[in-house]
Every structure is written in C-alpha cells, then in structure tokens.
Amino acid sequence: MAQGQRRWLQPEGAAGHGSDQAFFARRPDLVRVAERAVHALRGRSVQFFDTADGTTRRVTVDVTDGAERLARLDVVDEPAPFGLTVRELQVATCVAGGLANQEIAGALDCARRTVATHLEHIFTKTGVSSRATVATLLAEHDAYAAPLPAKNLVLPATLLALFEEKPRKTPRRVKPRPALIGAVYTAAAGAEAVAMRRGDKLAVTELNARGGVAGREVEHVALAATPEGLLDAVAELTARGVDAVVFGNFPLPYARPAIAAAAAAGVPVLHSMTGPALSDDVHADPRGLGSVFQVCSTESAYVPGLLRTLPQRGRLAILPRESTFDASVPEQIARHAAASGWELVYADPVPDHTRDFTDVVRQLDRVKADAVSLSTFPEATLGAFLTAAEPLRDRTLVHVAWSPAAPGFTERFRSLSDGLVWSTVIGNVDTPACHAFEQRYRAAYGGEPGLGAAAVHFDMVNVLAHVWSQVSRPWDFAAVRKQLRSVASFGVTGAHQFLGRGQRGLSYPDDTGDPTRGHPHLVYRIEGGTHRRLAPSLLT
C-alpha cells in the first residue's frame, strides 16, 4: 500500500475475510496498522493475532522493498496456538512483554489471582513451566495478541512499530521492567530476621544507586510469615511475578513444601538453611527442584568442625534438632568422633521449642560429657538449655551452631554466653570487603549487622544481581539457573559456587581445601561478651 492506494488480498485457498471491504470498513484500526507498516517496514512481514472482538484472527502484514512500496494485509480466521483462549493469549502477550502479574492485572482490569489462574492454564496448555519459555513460544508462533493489552511492552520492534500512532524515525526507548526479588522472613520479631531483611534491603539500595542491573532497577518485595503461613506467602510472591525468591530461616517441616512450591513455579530460589534434607531433596529430584540453590554447606559439618578445632580429647554428647534429625546422624558423628580421638557417649534429638532440659542435663551429668554440641536452635530454646546446664559448664564445654551470629546475642544472653563455643558454615569473613559492608550497614541502620545473617542475605541478592547481569532477562529462568550453576561470585561471606551435593555452596575446609572456592567454616569462643575467632586461624 503506497500513498493512499489500498489493496487487501487474500491468499489463495484461505478461508478468511480477504478483500472483504465491509469487514475493513468496520475495522479501521487494522487499516491504520497497514498504513503504518508502509512507513515502518521495508521488505518485512509481521504477524499477530487480532483479538479485538473476542475472537482470534491471524493478521499478516507484508511490505515490499521496491521504490513503490506496497503493503498487503491478510486477516484469516484462525484459533490461537495451543488452544489458548483470547484472555489467555492476552495474558501470555503481557508475560512476553515483561509484565509482572500485578501489572497484567492492572492492564486487563482483573484480579491478580485471576492472572495467576490464567498463567497456570497457559503453562498446562503449552506444556512449559516458566514465563521465559512462554515468551519464546509466542515469538516462535508469531502469536502476540493485538490490540496490545498494555503500553510499554518489551516486544519485537517491528510489531511495536505497527501500533505507534505516529511512527518515529528512531526506536522508542522502553524503560526496562524492574527485576523483582521476593523475600520471605519469619514473622517473629527476632534480631536474626531483622538483620536478614536489612541485608537484603541494603544490597538492593546499593545496586539501584549504581544504576541497577544492566540498567534495570531492582525491586525488593519482602513479606513476613509465620511457619504456618509460609506457603501462602510463597503463593503471593509467585503471583506477583517475582524473578527470584530468597528465604529466611524456617523450621524444616514448613520450609520443604514452601521451597518446592516456589520451585514448581520455575522461580530461582536461594536460601541459607542448613538442614541436610533440603539439599538432599534437590539431589534426589534435580528436575523438579533444579531451581533451588543453597548458599552454604549443611549442619552435618558442625561437629567435625568443632572436633577439628578442639585440642583436647574426651567424651562427646550431641543434641540435634528433632525437626532435622536423621537416624544416621549418631553413626556418622560416632565415626567422626572416633577419627578425632573422641568417644560419642550421648546422642538424642531434642524438640525444637522445648523449655525443660532437666532430664537432658541429668543424662549429660551421668555420662560425664566433656563437650556437648547443639544444633541450631531458637534463642529461647538455647537460653533454656544454657540455664539448666549452668552447673555443668565448669567441666563441660558447650558448643552451639549459628544462633550467636545474630546481632546483640551477647547482650541478650549476658553471662550465659560467656565461654560458649559456636560455629557457622557461612558468615562474615575478615576481609576489607566485609569491613566495608559492616560500616555501611551501621551507617544505614545505626546498629551492628551481627556475624552472619545480614551478610549472607546481602550476598544472596548480589549473587542474583551478578547472574542477572549475564542474561538478557531476569525472568529467563532457564538462563538464570544455568548461570547460577556455572559462574562464581565473591561477597562478604566468601566465594559463592553451587558445586556441592544438591546445588549447595562449599565450605572450607569441609568440602574443599581451596578457601577461594567456598565459605570458611568459622569457629568462635565468646569471652567477656566478645567473639574471639578460633578457626580458621588465617584467612586470605
């Protein structure tokens, strides 16, 4: 079509409107599409699906490349691919254009839950499980819905040119859709959860101050949830179209189904929980849980790390959490103890939230334990044990995992913390980068970051940002997963590489003898309210 000359031709044998002038008289918007094509396209062809009146029609616009440029417009009745309905095709177009569920709901004037339901139907009909693959399928089938359901969609420039009211000589700059990090923390008002949330937020703030990720702003969608409400929180985050989910620490029976639910949506999941079952689940089901990445080693490293650090030998007792207890744990610990010259004399799981340790302390006294090692317990449970065990502590060394890393631990526990030995398989490393992070945290929040939680979550956001900078779209989940498996990044807590069993991080020296490939297994002793590091003795 050139200079007002209009011809609408129908391909031979096609069952459609062809040169039905009455149809085009009712659809001047399609005529304008052809007119714009003359100016915007040269020797090009563009296809899309017209959904203006609740049905689907394949629209093809061809423009010649001769001096007298002509456009040919064909409109043929054709069902959408994969059996998608009109509304599902519109939702899929918005997904391909980079909109999150909340933005799609606003564009289509419907509820966010309705969008999530449409997206589930799209996944079922197309046989894919990620938003990125939906976008790929729409591009392969030229199946974008028009009129475009929303403005500022990130779609092929040739298609967008057909819907510009005034064609421009230069391409329109579309502000990139933000990268959305969904984070869910325990609703309990504890110092650890506060530090995690602040670490995440500080990382996002600093990323945006530097221009975001590849020019794309990063948004932090943070939710607080009880263990019982964790699944609902994950459903809300995935419904909002987040590009990754970061988990705080939750009890294992609640964490496992919640992580599986996030993985089922295809969303990359990062967490630092140390229950061995979590990485074992990923190892056992790499297809279903292949988007789950654990940034640290498991709690099975804690006792070997303690025994490696202690100079003396003697009688060992362990108190594992009931929620993460495995029948094989005592046997494994007994082997480690024997190899280190220790004798395992007591190993009994403890309910996560118990407050009465009278019988446990009596048993420890009876077996004359020289050292007792506790799994990661809530502070209230740990406080109850330390109070009950106070008469034993003159001759029994007490070791705990992770909990003292929380900001203000020694202030809250006072004399109960004195002499306590504790360790973590991921935490603040004594490096200039770590010292700078601690200073920025104090400046931002007016308090101490502690020795683990804030730094770990600060690093997790930056790991995602590093990976996103390597891919074209944060919501290309397959590309993000591939990058997470293949690249290394370095942060406040050490090197991040998901090379361990079940896509977990490596611990030095538990998993690797190279400190540049993982996180140092840190062991501390609290003396006079100060955390004095016992191991590793030297970090470079």
Residue 26: pLDDT above 90?
Answer: no
Q: Which helix (H) or strand (E) holds 379?
A: helix 379-388
Closest among 381, 432, 436, 376 to 402, alpha carbons compared: 376
Kindly report whether the global pTM for this prediction surpasses the value 0.85: no
Please report how the helices 379-388 and 358-367 are oriented relative to each other, as an axis angle in degrees rounded to 10: 50
The whole-number pLDDT of residue 67 equals 62
pLDDT digits (tens, 9 = 90+) for 124-160: 999 988 888 898 899 999 999 999 998 888 888 888 8
Cβ pair 112, 105 in contact under 8 A: yes
Alpha carbon 80 to chain centroid, angstroms: 33
Give 77's strand partners: 57
Q: What is the pLDDT of residue 540?
A: 36
Per-range mean pLDDT, top range of 11-15, 39-43, 263-267: 263-267
Say what the pLDDT of residue 66 is.
Answer: 61
pLDDT band at 495 (very low <50, low <70, confident <90, very high): very high
Question: In which band, very low, low, confident or very high, does the pLDDT at 170 lie, cut at 50, 70 and 90?
Answer: very low
- Rounded Cα distance between 537 and 519, Å, is 14
3-state SS, residue 89: helix
Determine the pLDDT at residue 19.
Answer: 55
Asked if residue 423 lies in contact with residue 307, where contact means CB atoms within 8 angstroms, the answer is no
pLDDT band at 28 (very low <50, low <70, confident <90, very high): confident
122 and 134 in contact (C-beta within 8 Å)? yes
Q: Is the pLDDT of residue 344 over 80?
A: yes
DSSP strand pairing (494-496 vs 489-491): antiparallel
More confident residue, 2 or 108: 108
Cis? peptide before 276, omega within 30° of 0: no
- DSSP bridge pairs for 186: 225
pLDDT in the model for residue 166? 55
Average pLDDT for residues 325-334, to the nearest whole number? 87
Per-residue pLDDT reduced to its tens digit, 348-406: 999 989 999 999 999 999 999 999 999 999 999 999 999 999 999 999 999 999 999 99
What is the phi/psi pair of residue 382, to 5°?
A: -60, -40
Find tokens 């028009």 and name the residue.
146
| pLDDT (0 to 100) of residue 175 | 65
- For residue 343, is pLDDT > 90? yes
How high does pLDDT run on average in the chain?
89
Whether 7 has a pLDDT exceeding 50, the answer reads no
Residue 449, Cβ density class (10 Å: 0-12 exposed, 13-18 middle, ≥19 buried): buried
> Does residue 117 carry a pLDDT above 60?
yes
Q: Which of 106-110, 171-175, 227-231, 328-332 has the highest mean pLDDT?
A: 227-231
Q: At what angle do helices 86-96 and 112-126 cross, to 10 degrees?
A: 90
Average pLDDT (3-26) is 47
What is the structure's pLDDT at 306? Answer: 94
Residue 116 has a pLDDT of: 92
What local confidence, expressed as pLDDT, does residue 330 receive? 87
Lowest mean pLDDT across 148-162, 227-241, 425-439 = 148-162
Query: Is 472 a residue whose pLDDT tops 80?
Result: no
- Residue 8 confidence class, pLDDT cut points 50, 70, 90: very low
Q: What is the DSSP string of 123-187?
A: HHHHT--SHHHHHHHHHHTT--EES-SSSS----HHHHHTT-SS--SSPPPPPPPPEEEEEEEES
DSSP for 239-290, written as a single string: HTT-SEEEE----HHHHHHHHHHHHHTT--EEE----HHHHHHHHH-TTTST
Q: How many CB atoms lie within 10 A of CB 420?
A: 23
| Mean pLDDT on 209-223 | 92
Is 223 a residue whose pLDDT tops 60?
yes
CA gap 526, 380 in Å, rounded? 19
Interval 177-193 mean pLDDT: 90
Q: Is the pLDDT of residue 209 over 50?
A: yes
Q: Specify the pairing of strand 522-527 against strand 530-535.
A: antiparallel
Q: pLDDT category, 329, cuts 50, 70, 90?
A: confident
Buried b (16+ CB within 10 A) or exposed e, 255-285: bbebbbbbbebbbbbbbbbbbbbbbebbeee
pLDDT band for position 74 (cuts 50, 70, 90): confident
Instruction: Report the largest interatomic distance among the alpha carbons of the chain, rounded to a whole angstrom.
Output: 101
Rounded to an integer, what distance in angstroms lies between the CA atom of residue 309 and that of residue 332?
A: 18
Distances (CA, A) of 507 to 177, 202, 298, 500: 36, 25, 9, 9
Task: With a cut of 70, say whether residue 201 has pLDDT above it.
Answer: yes
Taking residues 269-280, report their average pLDDT.
96
Here the tokens at position 413 are 């526990």
- Kindly give, in sequence order, each residue whose CB lies less than 8 Å from that of residue 171, ignoring residues fewer than 6 positions away: 157
Task: Read off the pLDDT band of 503 (50, 70, 90).
Answer: very high
Q: What is the pLDDT of residue 10?
A: 36
